[in-house]
Structure 1
Amino acid sequence: MRTVSMLLLVFVGCMSESHNGNRSARAKRELLLRSKRRWVLSTIELKEETPGPYPKIISHMFNDKKDRNSERQRFKLSGTGVTEKPLGVFSVNEETGEVYVHKPVDREENALFHLKFEILDKDTGLQIDRELSIDIDIMDINDNAPTFDKSRYTADIKENSEEGYLPVQLHATDRDQSGTPNSNITISVISQKPQQPVIALKQIDDRMAWLTLAGCFNYDKTRNYEVIVQAKDQGTPPSSSTAVISLNIVDTNTHPPVFKETKYKGEVLESTKGDVLRVAVEDKDTPNTPGWRAKYFFINGNEDGAFQIETDPETNEGILSVLKEMDFERTSLLELQIGVKNEETLFVCKDKSTGTNKLPPPDSVTVKIEVIDINDPPQFKKEISHVYQREEESPGKLLFTPEVHDDDSDVNNIRYVLLHDPAKWMGIDAKTGQIKTIEIMDRESPFVEDSIYNITIGAIDDGKPQATGTCIVLVHLKDINDNTPRLVNNHVIMCGNKVNKVMIAAGDTDDHPYSGPFMFSLRDDDGTLKRLWKLDPSIGEEGGLVSLKTLPYGNYTVPLVIQDQQSMRENSTLGVTVCDCGEASVCRRKEPLSTSGGASCIAVIFAGLLLFLLLLLIFMCECGKKTFHHGPIAQDEGNQTLIKYNQEGGGAESMTKPVLPSIPTNGVPVTEGLKKATRQVSEKDTGMITKKDAYNTQNMNLNNSKMGAYQMDSDFRGLGRQNRYSSWSTNRSNSFHQGRGKRYQRSLSLQSQQYIIDHIDKKLPMLDGGHVEYPQYQPYKYAYEGEGSTSQSLDKLSIGNLGDDLQFLNDLEPKFKALGNICHRAIQEKEHAALKNTAGK
């Protein structure tokens, strides 16, 4: 039984293994199944700039599905050069699959073309097979020459440039395919003018090179170099290009400065400073450059620093000057050695034999300085002396006695003076130089600084010329308690809405211990202040004023007593303003009384204006209804034209004076020149007329001016009727101007018919007589004017009853007395003058 079971298991295993082996073999066969290639494309090789003719076949396409259904399929080509820029380069024959190129290709413009091949159904346009993509690399030819980034280079090269690299870098490029002989560049120098020194190239890589120098430049010989360089590739055939390099040589210090003289001499006055002499050098380098500008220095003889030498920037000369005063008694002759060099370091080209460039020593010169003796001023034993004195001392106290010596003059002949005494507190003895006070000295004076009063005295000898020595005397003033403490500010502000306390500061011009801290107290006789104020703190540099109750806003006066440490007291009055403050401790301003209105106020204003205009219109309408009665308008009213008065030509003027009475008017004012009056006249009265006519026939100028004067007052008694009066005007004027140089002016009064008849009747008798040559000189008969004046005649007045008594003249009115005094004074002056004239004769 056990054996049968074992056989069954072996059998089942064999069957399972057999089944698995068959499946694995089938899978291997499917994996190794060979697939036939569907696309066949010949090799595409295209060289740039290929010559024509075009189009030219470059390849042929084939697909195995095309062979079975050749009538229903077509080829399609797309990609760069077909459907993408550059367009029109490639195309394909849809039937045969031949690929064409239509124009030359520049590899530097398009080095790669990406094409896509497709086979489509002609009817549906669908792809029959998958598309095929291919990249076409353009084969390079040597059609581009290497070029420099510039065709011409310009550089400034210093004359003192060392051998080796020059600061000129060259760059060259080639557009041909990199990594090929067509783009490998060699840079070299092909010419140089002038030939020396030698300028070469050091190529760093196939794109960059540096200029190099072998030798030294000489600015004096050549100032410009021209170098031609070439960039050449290794293509077949090779291509090349050139560039020009212009080198401008900049002058540097290649010539040392040399003194023009070998020795110099100078003189300097004793005890003086300033310039002594100038030294000059010669330099062949370019002027006003660092290699030309000289720098002078002392080699020896100026160890104590008494001299200084500077360079004049214009002339390049050295200016020797004295910084410290010379003393003839110590030395009368000095010898200096001065050297010179340039601001820029001297450059020397290397010696070809030794290969070194050793610099020559700088040029030098000897300068001899002679010291000239002069009169030395007197010398004080101490240039600054200190004296101590208490302030407010009585004048006349001796403060200082100087000690002076003079090597050139007699000390007894020295004269002393005060050179500086701003407060005029001192007096000095001209012989001894003793200083005494002549005024009381005050430590708090503005002339005293830090308790020290500064005095300067001078000692003048009798030499030629005179010399003056000076000494400063510092008087230290000791303080006394001679000043009372005072308030720093006499008025303070207390913000009543914030605090009830303000700080008050005091000060004292005296020094410690005669100043603060101070003691503050209220000067209160009746105790009123202590109910309103208190002081807290009351001792210190500042005191605190505290209000004990809420005070109304306003101004208050607080009497204070301030004492210093020595109980020196001062009565002061402090003004305090209690007010409402804003953010800062500043009283707010009172807001002005104002009223703000809106549209209603504007409406009220406009309504008022309209009402005013309405009332004005009503008033004008009412006034327009009234009838105004004007006086009679004369027919000869003036034309209101300007009158020309400068017509001086003339004929004889008629002097005839006809009498024409004026016409009375009703209630019209009379105007005579500048006088105005209203005259009344009876209708039955006659008048007196004055008339003047002038006529110029040459200028056609007629002037007629008339003045009428008529006044009479008559009483018609017993006629039983009321007199009738009228007022009339006596002046009327008309002016008329016509043409050039013609003027007519007249003054007439309108006449009534009655007056005209009277005028004619008066003129008729004149016609009865014979011809009179000058009628204006004949007797003239005036009209009867009635009774004489009813007033008493002056002839009837008499003062005979007064006799010879003239005492009334002594008591005249004040006005007459003033007149009499004036006349009397004039009479006295005339009599006095007459007496003087008589005495003189």
Structure 2
Amino acid sequence: QALRRGSIQSLVSLLMVCLLISITLFLRWVLSTIDLEENMPGPYPAILYNDKKEDNTIKFRIKGQGVTEKPLGLFSIDEKTGIVYVHQPIDREVYHIFHVDFDVLDRQTDAMVDKTLSFNVEIKDKNDNRPVFTPSTLRVSVPENTPEGVLQATLQAHDNDQKDTPNSQFTMRVVSQDPASPKFTMRDMPGTATVKQLAFTGCFDYDKEKSYKVLVEARDQGTPTMFSTATVILDITDYNTHPPEFNKRTLPEEILRIGIKDKDTPNTPGSRAVFSILKGNEEGNYKIETDSKTNEGVLSVVKVNKTEITELEIAVKNEEKLFQCVDGKAETGTTPKPNTAKVAVKVIDVNDPPVFKKQVEKVYRNENGPPGDVLFVPEIKDEDSDVNKLRYELIQDPDKWVSVDPKTGKITTVQTMDRESPFVKNGTYTVVVHAIDDGQPPATGTCTVVVYLGDLNDNAPHLISKNAVMCGNKVNHVDVKPRDLDGPPFANPFTFSLGEELKNLWKLDPTTGTNTSLISLTSLPYGNYSVPLKIQDQQGLQAEDVLQVVVCECTGINTCRGRLPFSSRLGPAAIGLMFAGLLLLAFLLLFCFLCECKSKNFQHIPLNLEEEGNQTLVKYNMEGGGAIYKVCETVSLVESLEL
């Protein structure tokens, strides 16, 4: 037992020594990662790696990305010394890492001496990309009455340098604006660091300024810093800031014309009439004027009189004093009383409709807000009715998103509002509400509530068509066209990618943009292929979709050549062969029948119908049977029927 125990310990020690030697040899040929600065100025070729150990019995070779795979000719090795060289600058935004394999060979025999060495060349980022705005010029219409705060002007920038480093992280600010008031600033959009919204403090005056030009800067935090600018043009649209005014302080409403007769010369001061109201107009509700063309008295209403019946006494005289000659003498000192007439005026009260403070109300909300949001509470007047007795009705609510309180007119959301709904036009959803009084007959006032919906990134991109035809005999690519229901900056440009397992068969070019092309890297056999794609919008919202590609020989644009149809028509030769076969079969049957009938030793073969089931042949169990000829005839007939 002691001997056995010592042998086991020796064996364990030997295994440990072998393991340490193996680890040492393995570590000798394993490198981790070699760092290389992007766009290194040179000179080239430059030494990438030097082991500084020479061995005249071995030589070195490398393969992989940058050597035997694209981009070709980037790296090389001195097969005697093992020094690895890089031959040109590398852009990290194109290639950020390379995987290279070493082979150690015997110089004489080219036999593998040691295990393959693998290492990565990682390209270190340099701040060589400035933040870029998309788009670089933005034009937005802003209503004059917009309350101070965030505007519907969203700016987005992107830096192609390494993600989550100072080289790609940037800030935005307003550099200048014209005119100088109100003051514009930048505010963060919730959930993203690369998108900002333009905000302002103060108010707009369309009569003073109808357009603003704002210059915005995006500056990264790299060394040295890099920046770019974008221009935002704000077009101010007019709003109701001036109340209407009458050209005259009163606008009389004509209710009666009073004609007169005057025998003096027409159109002279002696014939032109001057009217006045002697009685019944103590409150100044009426007035009377002379029509200069017809010399009629025109009675008009100056203001509403709630009295049902008013009696007016109207007098008329001439512009000149009245002159009378009586009995050859001129009458002086006395002025005759003017001619008068009485007019009874009945004022009928008409039920005036309720009047909203504004006939069109504008409301601003972001889409996907929770139900229960109060959009609008009306301010209303009614000259004839009690506003507390008004009732409210929804007249237009195309997607059933809101409800109205029938007593207060308060409009509240009952569903989530989606900006991508087909009922939203140009980013607005329109609701129309009526206010109805209790008059006889009831009168109705109308208010239109326009809800401006701000966009959110709530829709992932998807393929417009999931089927494509690749004409293998003509082209090796198909167009890939995605769509995103969101608006800028939550839609294109998109980022496209494939799974690692497909990169030997397919590639996407370009990998960013509004659309791309799927390109086959090899000559594919005709057939159906399912290609899973990943599509990402500007904000990083990603969707996976599958493009069904048919590779075939085409006869036209995206039209595969169909199979040749199977013919159902027989030619003369085929028909002749068919009849010859039938005649041969009939001849064989007849030959068998004759041979069987000539046999003298005919034996009746009993059939067990219980075991065999239903048969066509009839079983004859009569003792003695019958004549041989008759039996043969019967059996032959039945056999003929069976066949």
TM-score (norm 1): 0.31
- The structure showing larger relative contact order (alpha-carbon pairs under 8 Å, at least 6 residues apart) is 2
Looking at CA atoms only, which structure, 1 or 2, has the larger radius of gyration?
1
